[in-house]
Structure 1
Amino acid sequence: MVDILLAKQSRTPNAPEYAETLPGHLELVLRVARTLLAKRGAAVLDMLGLDAKRWQRVLEQAVLSAAALHDLGKANSQFQRLVRGHRLTQAYRHEVLTLVILHQQPALDAWLFSSIPPIARALALRAVAGHHLRFSPDRSLQPQPSGQLTLHLLLDHPDTQAALRCAGAMLSLPEPPRLNATELSLTDDQARPLADWLHKALAGAWEDQDARRCAGAVLALLVAADICASAVIRHGLDPAQWAEETLTYCLSGEDLARVVAHRLKGQPLRPFQEQVASTPSRLTLVTAGCGTGKTIAAYCWAARQAAGRRLFFCYPTTGTATEGFTTYALPDFAESSALVHSRAVYDLMELRESDEQPTAFEQAWSGLTTWGARLSVVTVDTVLGLFQHTRTGLTSFPALAGAAFVFDEVHLYDDRLFRTLLRFLADCRNAPVLLMTASLPPNRRTALEQLACQLREPLTVIPGPAEFETLPRYLVQHVDSQTAIATVEEALCANRRVLWIANTVERAMSLARVAAERGWPVELYHSRYRYRDRLERHRVIMNAFRPDTNRGPVLAVTTQVCEVSLDISADLLVTELAPPPALIQRLGRLNRWALPGTDVAPAPALVLLPPNAAPYRPEELAEGQRWLEAIIGRPLSQQDLREAYEQLASSSPLHPATDVVWLDRMLDSTPQALREPGTTIDVLREEDLPNVKHRADAVGYAIPMLLGPVSRELARWRRCFGIPVAPTGSIDYDTTWGAQWSRSTGGE
């Protein structure tokens, strides 16, 4: 038997730090959990619409019991060998063994749970099972081949008893029962009865929607406490004290007023912005096109709705999140803001203009960075990911509780993401929320209105300023490729700035090469670059289109990435036919800076038929064609584009998601996709590995590539920081043109 039970790997396993031992880790998690309940418990109940008189004690009892118990299953012979560096497969994960111990030791169950109501016990058991987000009743309760016939539960170990005594002291429980060592046979399914045992414990509670929301809160708080205790201690800080200090921060109206003043530069608010700022409703929908000042309006709204809270500003893409962070958060909240998305570790390094690596929190535990941030600028995945069990979403939960939320560019959400947004609005029923969009299909607006009706509260809808929304900006025409080329050449000769958008990277690359051969001043921009090079291409395009530059003519050839990531204004737009929402976004890059009262004529937009529908479905392009037929041949405003789309868009009912892991799945805790599946995967080139020393480097050198050509061989590739490494020679790459699979790999 080992002398010391470890909960974490240690450089000195025979003389570990106390926090690395099983008693030490359980004590830390329990202390952090107690802090989270003290600091955020009331906010959690309020956000989820749970009556404190009924649910406060249940929440506290369930979270503390789960924290005291969650890693007890690590007191087993296989885990103790694994944590000491032995290579082996565990027959059961430790959270399953925690439940096995409880199931087989009724005295322990009674000691921990007899003084609390059954519902608190049930929610604690669910949290223990799911706190590593890997529990599935169909898979987790079957022993995995480990090369052993038995497994020893080290229940008589002094450290096991010490952990229980510590928990008992912190929870005001009597002396824990003495437990005996147990040998668990791995030749039969001794864990299989847990499924019925857990189901029986939870079945009654699961009929109550309030109980489900409380169950979600218990699990999220346990995950957050566990991660905080594990991560913060590595930096020599006391996790509970750190949590207490960071979770104190919140915004004031004056804080956000500074952001607005910084952007207005002495100009007064527009009436539209004042209307958004003064809305009294918890739920507000703003439908306004580009250039209307709706982001400033959002911060004006937050100055009223987020005072005394935190603010989460949610964008649909990493690029727009970083741009929003750079423009609005960084100047006024440099020390109390967070940028959270999948590429943030690299963007933060770039913003700091330093080779200094981001902090360990920023690299590995980004959800913790939101705890100390008054303003968090994130991709929507951070917030809505809570509902599908992303680790970042669950870790952020203590900061999400009691916050206000802005969801920008809602029209870019796919149906799965939008349905999860509806579920967020339904279950986080006391959180102030501002939704912003350029256009919204009737079925989505109807879904929001119906949800507000079900919640018995108003949905305030604020349109964009009429003088901007009705300004004629565009003149759309259907043309062939020869006409498009001739028009582009004429525009370039006239010192104009031209944006040409292709639907696929391959066609964009081909078009840019043809333009270069003609001697045109062309710049290429798409998604298939190393991320560090993509940022440089983005800077090149932005500089070429800056309104205050006299650089001269330019042709930017891009793909769909321009639809939200490029804040530019072209004089001429050429685009392949696409679905109406995509075309509306593309047109938003044309004549963007036109202002009411100025003598600016509508700018031309030329639409080409692509050779095939990819990456869209044929029916989506057919809808785009019908939309064009309704608007073509006359000067058009943003309002014209939106109204034409609303007349064509689907009226099929849209309802909140009904299968979110956080609140709907009783036992299965494995994360599910938040968005509809894509066709690309991030990879690293083997040629770049000498430059990849840290996680931020891996992000900077990663390239999003089409999955199809390598789908069969991908599983055999090694990984670096979790990213697949493409073998040498499999990707043809150029910093200007981007990446393609080589012909030997399957070509593109």
Structure 2
Amino acid sequence: MSIKMQTLRPKLLLAKSMEVPWKGAYTLTGHTASVVEAVTTLIDTLGNQLLFQFGLSCCDLAQLRATARLAAYIHDLGKANDHFQAVVRKLKNPMEHPQLIRHEALSVLLAWELRDWLATGDGNFLIAIAAAGGHHLKLGGESGKQTDELGEIRESGVDAWTRGDRILLYTNHQHFIGLLRYGQKACGLASHLPQDLPTSWTIADIKQQRKILLQEFAIWEADSILTAVVKALLVAADSSGSALPVNNVPIQPWIQTQIHYTLTEPELQRVVDERLNGDMLHPFQKDLGNTTSRVTLARAGCGTGKTLGAYNWAKHHAVGRKLFFCYPTTGTSTEGFLDYTHDKVDSTLLHTRAAVDLEHLDLHSTGDEDDLETKLESFKAWSTKVSVCTVDTVLGLLQCNRRPMYCFPAIAQAAFVFDEVHCYDNKLFGALLRFLEVVKAPVLLMSASFLPWQIKAIETAVGEPINIIPGPKELETQPRYRFRLADAPDWERVKAEFEQGGKILWVCNQVNTAIAVYEEAKQYGLQPLLYHSRYKYGDRVNHHREVVDRFKAEGAVMAIATQVAEMSLDLSATLLVSQIADPAGLIQRLGRLNRRYCGHALDALFYPDEKVGFPYSQDELDAGAALIQSFSGEVCQADLALWLEKAAVQGEPDQDSVWLDGEWRTYPASLREAGYTITVLLEQDLKTVEKLPAKLLPRYTVPLIVNSKQTKGWKKCRRYPLAPTEFWGYSSDIGAFQIKS
């Protein structure tokens, strides 16, 4: 059937769909003005602290301000086209007929067309267009990989309002002329307006424009840090300039209030006092507070009071700033929030599943459930003095991940604590090194051990002396463990411990193994608890909470877990049973045994894992066995740290960063090394999750170990693969389980 073509002649140029009640921020000029106001307020309010935080000695505040305002001014020029205006009016279905090219890439090409005029202002033009093109984090890369594509040209097809082989540019529209005049005022551009602007581009025209600009970018000697900061400022300004006006919140006073909302010494002292509960700080914790180095290393084992020491450190280094307390996993960040800051200092729990973890606390959350919800959730970091989060919330900035880009105004004025640094993989540790190199904020790094090569790499990144503060010797030399290695688990020893009222933690290397041990323990009448990663996240939270609470209570308890126990469980067992794993994992597991020292060593029973290759290689299992066999008597934490440091192999941290190295490119890439799991939804939950608010969707997500061959043909729901009911079952007791065919 032929389509009767119509020409779209819009009365208004819109930046977003018109809603009721009508707001001027829906128009292209209105939205542009909002974003310019937001980025200006951010820079003016952060002031010179922004320059100091990122070591921007190359420019002054006025130059940064002019460049960021120019980027904000041009970031949505490309919305003045018939494809976008038809979509925003719901005349064009973008799923059936996508826009020929994304609007932000078109903004870059239009800005290049206007380059002589735009260069009459004070801002750095190439930095501004690079930031403008990347403000939706979709420029120069796809699926975490660099493509060098300056805007993908897509097969649009012909519909009633647009042609698929060309795009109409509304450069003669009165509102576009008005937008140009606004640029004169906002960016100090020349009084003569540009003439003879193109009114349409074919695919060939767009390709030619891209080629010319890519040649210019190829010889561009970018100031990497200044470019990165302007990019992040624009992303944050665009999110606030979009969200605040539609929620009837004035931009300037709101941003100023959030930026000025920083920590005071009495607030941090209250956290310390409540945790001390009348006791005195250990000398180790006092030393953390007295350090004068910008970057300090706290090398101390589990149960030595590192976290309390960190808040004492913050009392001296985070006053007048915000504070990010960064943990490796969602579980540990939740525990850190509940134990230290909730109800003690204004704080928020900031990781992608926080809404699920904190439901029972009746904390206020915002309204919209689409992408605006993600942005508004990130605004909590702007409005919060202490953000307890996963490390991804901060270091994800190095790879242009969405949440840290949205959180940038808080990151730009914060101090940082990174806990459990010894658990970082090569990519994550590489990101930490780049962060320490670029961000000149006060930083405390905490770990049970720092390997010699890690210390050297940190010193090189920081470029100035760092202070290494050891944990309390009297605690780290206490004899906590006795190792027992056998070919199979000693169930008689386990039953005896349970009958004596003991607290048993059994750690397996695979979920299926843990489930098998759980079923066997039930047969012995041990009333076990099961905790692993293959639950729907809402159920995982409940299992986590039950295990922690039962270990705190009186009486016998047995918990069977996987690697999730290594960091996320704050408990003290009287007996540890574990399969042999890699040395770092074994030391983490031992951190749950005799954590609250009972006065003498306790047994750790180890037995082999016959499933070589996943998740541990033969070399890793051999190294773990060597660690266990190295000790015949009682073992302390200091012994383990020394063994690990002597046996350590030189790491190869990956320091590549899209944010700092991408030049004109801006796209999200992975912060961590590739794992074995993918996050899915279960087909049995389809009717529920289809209509669920976005912020609660993680309640139903499950990580599964499946390969691309297995998932081929799986349907998707809300961006997640949908695990078919014929292959995967589920119970809240044991989690997801594979159905044998």
TM-score by length of structure 2 reads 0.92
Matching of residue 510 in structure 1 with residue 516 in structure 2: yes
Structure 1 pair 163–349 and aligned structure 2 pair: CA distance change class (3 A): farther
Aligned to 1:703: 702
Greater shift, 127-136 or 699-708, is seen at 699-708
Contact between 2:120 and 2:189, CA under 8 Å: does it hold in 1? no
Aligned to 1:323: 335
1:266: Cα distance to partner? 1.1
Contact between 1:229 and 1:240, CA under 8 Å: does it hold in 2? no
Contact between 1:286 and 1:437, CA under 8 Å: does it hold in 2? yes
Aligned to 2:101: 92
**1:216 paired residue among 228, 241, 259:** 228
Aligned to 1:230: 242
Separation in 1, partners of 2:209, 2:182: 30
SS in 2 for 1:146: coil
Q: Equivalent pairs: percent with the same residue?
A: 37
**1:71 paired residue among 73, 76, 99:** 76
Matching of residue 499 in structure 1 with residue 515 in structure 2: no
Separation in 1, partners of 2:130, 2:368: 35
Matching of residue 582 in structure 1 with residue 593 in structure 2: no
Aligned to 1:470: 477
1:388: Cα distance to partner? 0.2
**1:101 paired residue among 90, 105, 110:** 110
Matching of residue 314 in structure 1 with residue 326 in structure 2: yes
Matching of residue 145 in structure 1 with residue 150 in structure 2: no
**Superposed CA offset, 1:79-125 (max 9, x none):** 11111222121111112211222333xxx3233222326xx112112
1:179: Cα distance to partner? 4.8
Separation in 1, partners of 2:368, 2:597: 40
- 5+ residue gaps, structure 1: none
Structure 1 pair 411–306 and aligned structure 2 pair: CA distance change class (3 A): same
Aligned to 2:640: 641
Separation in 2, partners of 1:343, 1:176: 52
SS in 1 for 2:358: helix
Aligned to 1:116: 122
Aligned to 1:717: 715
**Superposed CA offset, 1:314-369 (max 9, x none):** 11111111111122221222xx3222111012223232279997998765443221
SS in 2 for 1:472: coil
Structure 1 pair 257–142 and aligned structure 2 pair: CA distance change class (3 A): closer
Structure 1 pair 364–688 and aligned structure 2 pair: CA distance change class (3 A): farther
Pairs within 5 Å for 1:340-489? 340-352=350-362, 363-428=374-439, 430-452=440-462, 455=463, 457-481=464-488, 484-489=490-495
Structure 1 pair 199–635 and aligned structure 2 pair: CA distance change class (3 A): farther
Greater shift, 404-413 or 436-445, is seen at 436-445
Structure 1 pair 458–295 and aligned structure 2 pair: CA distance change class (3 A): same
1:728: Cα distance to partner? 3.7
**Superposed CA offset, 1:52-80 (max 9, x none):** 7x343331121010101110000001111
Separation in 1, partners of 2:218, 2:186: 26
Structure 1 pair 353–218 and aligned structure 2 pair: CA distance change class (3 A): closer
Matching of residue 133 in structure 1 with residue 137 in structure 2: yes
Separation in 2, partners of 1:188, 1:489: 76
Matching of residue 83 in structure 1 with residue 88 in structure 2: yes
Greater shift, 357-366 or 235-244, is seen at 357-366
Structure 1 pair 116–139 and aligned structure 2 pair: CA distance change class (3 A): same
Structure 1 pair 140–727 and aligned structure 2 pair: CA distance change class (3 A): farther
Structure 1 pair 196–698 and aligned structure 2 pair: CA distance change class (3 A): same
SS in 1 for 2:478: coil
Contact between 1:575 and 1:608, CA under 8 Å: does it hold in 2? yes
Separation in 2, partners of 1:314, 1:176: 51
Separation in 1, partners of 2:609, 2:546: 27
Letter of the structure 2 residue corresponding to residue 402 of structure 1:
Q
**1:659 paired residue among 656, 660, 680:** 656
Matching of residue 205 in structure 1 with residue 221 in structure 2: yes
Structure 1 pair 575–326 and aligned structure 2 pair: CA distance change class (3 A): same
Greater shift, 88-97 or 362-371, is seen at 362-371
Aligned to 1:159: 175
1:709: Cα distance to partner? 7.2
Matching of residue 283 in structure 1 with residue 289 in structure 2: no
Structure 1 pair 354–396 and aligned structure 2 pair: CA distance change class (3 A): closer
Aligned to 1:59: 64
Contact between 2:69 and 2:186, CA under 8 Å: does it hold in 1? no
Contact between 2:102 and 2:152, CA under 8 Å: does it hold in 1? no
Contact between 2:66 and 2:187, CA under 8 Å: does it hold in 1? no
Aligned to 1:616: 616
Separation in 2, partners of 1:489, 1:523: 15
Aligned to 1:24: 30
1:11: Cα distance to partner? 3.4
Contact between 1:691 and 1:697, CA under 8 Å: does it hold in 2? no
Aligned to 2:4: none
SS in 2 for 1:190: helix
Structure 1 pair 229–711 and aligned structure 2 pair: CA distance change class (3 A): farther
Contact between 2:82 and 2:167, CA under 8 Å: does it hold in 1? yes
Separation in 2, partners of 1:727, 1:354: 35
**Superposed CA offset, 1:685-706 (max 9, x none):** 2332444421233111221112
Contact between 1:290 and 1:588, CA under 8 Å: does it hold in 2? yes
Separation in 2, partners of 1:121, 1:174: 14
Separation in 2, partners of 1:196, 1:354: 50
Structure 1 pair 353–670 and aligned structure 2 pair: CA distance change class (3 A): closer
**2:594 paired residue among 591, 605, 613:** 591
Matching of residue 671 in structure 1 with residue 663 in structure 2: no
Separation in 2, partners of 1:473, 1:710: 46
Separation in 1, partners of 2:174, 2:447: 60
1:380: Cα distance to partner? 0.6
SS in 2 for 1:99: helix
Contact between 1:384 and 1:420, CA under 8 Å: does it hold in 2? yes
Letter of the structure 2 residue corresponding to residue 348 of structure 1:
L
**2:282 paired residue among 259, 270, 283:** 270
Contact between 2:184 and 2:190, CA under 8 Å: does it hold in 1? yes
Structure 1 pair 687–218 and aligned structure 2 pair: CA distance change class (3 A): same
Structure 1 pair 519–494 and aligned structure 2 pair: CA distance change class (3 A): same
Contact between 2:239 and 2:375, CA under 8 Å: does it hold in 1? no
1:142: Cα distance to partner? 4.8
**Superposed CA offset, 1:641-695 (max 9, x none):** 111111111135x45x442011111122121100001121222223324444212
- 5+ residue gaps, structure 2: 1-8, 141-146, 158-163
1:739: Cα distance to partner? 0.8
Separation in 2, partners of 1:292, 1:583: 18
Separation in 1, partners of 2:540, 2:68: 44
Letter of the structure 2 residue corresponding to residue 344 of structure 1:
A
**Superposed CA offset, 1:712-736 (max 9, x none):** 336x41313x333334444211111
Letter of the structure 1 residue corresponding to residue 563 of structure 2:
Q
Greater shift, 125-134 or 419-428, is seen at 125-134
Q: Which runs of 4+ in 1 moved over 4 A?
A: 178-181, 353-364
Aligned to 2:3: none
Separation in 2, partners of 1:205, 1:272: 47
Structure 1 pair 435–381 and aligned structure 2 pair: CA distance change class (3 A): same
Separation in 2, partners of 1:602, 1:563: 20
CA RMSD of aligned residues (A): 2.2
Separation in 2, partners of 1:480, 1:533: 34
Matching of residue 732 in structure 1 with residue 729 in structure 2: yes
Separation in 1, partners of 2:683, 2:426: 37
Letter of the structure 2 residue corresponding to residue 182 of structure 1:
P
Separation in 1, partners of 2:27, 2:365: 35
**1:572 paired residue among 563, 575, 593:** 575
Structure 1 pair 602–685 and aligned structure 2 pair: CA distance change class (3 A): same
Aligned to 1:297: 309
User: How many residues end up aligned between the 2 structures?
Assistant: 713
1:493: Cα distance to partner? 2.5
Structure 1 pair 355–737 and aligned structure 2 pair: CA distance change class (3 A): farther
